[in-house]
Amino acid sequence: MPIFEYRCADCDTVYDVLHKGAENPDIVQCPSCDSRSYVKKFSSFAASTGSGVAAASSCESGNCGVPSYGGCASGMCGLG
């Protein structure tokens, strides 16, 4: 189930919405002001491939299994 990130066009609150499927579309509504005016944001994603403990310790050395673009993907893996 995909999670999409939105920014409220009225109050600038950033929030996530879990979309359960095409047959059951969710209504996107700001949790702060209940507005239905929004901008869909481009979000990155994360994936887990194993034990966070081993990955975290190896990420500190700059090698956490993420393709290297300047040491641990320049901190993009979220483990360091």
Based on the fold, state whether residues 77 and 58 are members of the same structural domain: yes
Kindly report whether the global pTM for this prediction surpasses the value 0.95. no
Residue 21 DSSP class: -
Based on the fold, state whether residues 12 and 34 are members of the same structural domain: yes
Based on the fold, state whether residues 35 and 15 are members of the same structural domain: yes
**Is 21 part of a structural domain of the chain?**
yes
**Is 17 part of a structural domain of the chain?**
yes
CA-CA-CA-CA dihedral for 15, 72, 79, 45, to nearest 10? 30
Q: Which pLDDT does position 32 carry in this prediction?
A: 96
Based on the fold, state whether residues 58 and 76 are members of the same structural domain: yes
Based on the fold, state whether residues 56 and 27 are members of the same structural domain: no
Q: Which pLDDT does position 55 carry in this prediction?
A: 47
**Digitized pLDDT (tens) for each residue of the chain, 80 residues in all:** 678 899 999 999 999 988 777 665 668 899 999 999 999 888 666 676 765 555 455 556 656 666 555 555 555 565 55
Q: In total, how many domains does the chain have?
A: 2
Q: Which pLDDT does position 9 carry in this prediction?
A: 95
**Is 45 part of a structural domain of the chain?**
no
- C-alpha distance across the termini of the chain, in Å: 27
**Is 54 part of a structural domain of the chain?**
yes
